[in-house]
Amino acid sequence: MKEKFPARLLNISNGLEKVIERFAPEVCAVEETFFAVNVKTALKLGQVRGVILVVAERARVEIAEYAPRLVKQTVVGYGAAEKHQVQEMVRVLLSLKEIPQPHDASDALALAICHFHHAGLAALTQPTAARSKLDALLAANPRRRAPR
């Protein structure tokens, strides 16, 4: 017998809590909501996403959210890529022999690839701790200027 939806949400919550406890991730990358043709499906996905956000927030794990088009753009190079194209690029980028199964695994890995790509770019554009300290000192003493 198929579990009722609330029981499935509880299983997702409990499972994610165990994963966070076991692996202690620093970040939880989540796909932003999208508009689906089937309203019931979109609502259920939104509820699952809500459970994920609450569990991550409760565990004080940083949450990074990405639009589905950005994930596809990052992984495939085309924001309107088909699911099979994303799956194949995940396989190629991670040097896997086969497309990850179940198919949702490819989506999760694509999201992780997107996060690593964009978080890495963000880290490169953040000022270093030394530069931040220097800027703070210069702000406190406006007569001096930072060397460029």
Domains of the chain, CATH where assigned: 1-66 (3.30.420.10), 80-148 (no CATH)
Q: How far is CA 109 from CA 8, 24, 85, 91, 99, in A?
A: 22, 18, 13, 9, 11
Percent of the chain with pLDDT over 70: 80
Q: What is the pLDDT of residue 38?
A: 82
pLDDT, averaged across the chain: 86
* CB contact at 8 A, 13 and 51: yes
Q: What is the pLDDT of residues 95-136, one digit of tens each?
A: 999 999 988 899 999 999 999 999 876 665 566 565 666 666
Is the predicted pLDDT of residue 42 greater than 60, yes or no? yes
Average pLDDT over residues 31-36: 78
Q: What is the pTM of this model?
A: 0.76
Among 70, 75, 77, 114, CA closest to 91: 75
Q: Please state which of the ranges 5-14, 28-37, 53-62, 82-91 shows the lowest mean pLDDT.
A: 28-37
